Homo-oligomer: A and B are copies of this chain.
Amino acid sequence: MTAKAASVDVTDGPAADAALSKAPRTERGKRTLRKLLDAAAAEFGERGYHEASISGITQRAGAALGTFYTYFDSKEQVFRALVDDMGRLTRQHIAERVTGTSDRLTAERLGLEAFIDFVRGHKDLYRIVMEAQFVAEDAYRNYYRVFAEAYRRNLVHASAKGEISPGHEEERAWALIGMSVFLGLRYAVWSDDRPAAEIAAAAAELITFGLSPHKGEGMS
């Protein structure tokens, strides 16, 4: 829990949306910002957005209250930065574990397994994403919009290649994301004692064949 958290590019990069004038200019500054970011992830992850306090963040970071405002404009701004970062991290982690996989059906299984593993290792950041629905709804919608769009593209592609049956790819994408999210919630956030591979295998069978009686499957 309370994973190493954010890998928000402290210097610049696609994450540095709102940083602007608040970007650190010295080594010391970068270190402090990093500490604040990690502390914020831990504080928000453990206590939730509203219970979390800026003073809690700065205490964890070993800094003074005012220092927070050297790097961020508001409580909500850090929160949003963490949500965006989580999206980037998640996609990257899944992509790494799926690339090289030729067919979509296998990719589905590996992707889900990777997702569950990732959530298990980043419970605090994952909670932040979920809570974003109520704290920064646009950030939350965007998080899943990006996922769904990429997912849909993969499905269209796989369908064209005949790897999967043609269907309504957008609805499929959202349905599959929902599956992952709830399996992640149940088997990663709420309890993580079952092997991720088992969960992924069970779900993969559902995703592949559906519920209809089909021959060949073993009993149980």
Is the CB–CB distance between B141 and A172 below 8 Å?
no
B164, B179, B203: which contacts A212 (Cβ < 8 A)? B164
- Chain B nearest Cβ from A76, distance in angstroms: 12
A122 at the interface (CB under 8 A from B): no
A177 at the interface (CB under 8 A from B): yes
Is the CB–CB distance between B209 and A134 below 8 Å?
no
Q: How many copies does the complex hold?
A: 2
A123 at the interface (CB under 8 A from B): no
B163, B166, B175, B179: which contacts A217 (Cβ < 8 A)? B166
- Chain B nearest Cβ from A205, distance in angstroms: 6
Annotate A155-170 by CB proximity to B: 1 below 8 A, 0 otherwise. Answer: 1001000111111100
Dominant secondary structure of chain A at its interface with chain B: helix
- Chain B nearest Cβ from A12, distance in angstroms: 32
Residue of B nearest to A162 (CB): B213
A48 at the interface (CB under 8 A from B): yes
Cβ contacts under 8 Å, A105 to chain B: 211-212
A202 at the interface (CB under 8 A from B): yes
Whether A175 contacts B203 in the complex (CB less than 8 A), given A134-B131, A208-B210, A209-B210, comes out as yes
Residue of B nearest to A148 (CB): B186
B49, B130, B131, B182: which contacts A174 (Cβ < 8 A)? B182
Whether A183 contacts B172 in the complex (CB less than 8 A), given A208-B212, A210-B210, comes out as no
A62 at the interface (CB under 8 A from B): no
Cβ contacts under 8 Å, A190 to chain B: 141
Residue pairs across A and B with Cβ atoms less than 8 A apart, 14 shown, are: A48-B134, A49-B134, A162-B213, A165-B211, A165-B213, A165-B217, A166-B219, A167-B217, A171-B202, A171-B206, A172-B202, A178-B181, A178-B183, A210-B210
The 4 closest A-B pairs by CB, nearest first: A178-B182, A210-B210, A168-B202, A171-B202
Knowing that A105-B212, A141-B190, A206-B210 touch, tell me 10 more A-B residue pairs with CB under 8 angstroms: A131-B133, A131-B134, A171-B206, A174-B187, A175-B206, A178-B180, A179-B179, A181-B182, A208-B212, A209-B210
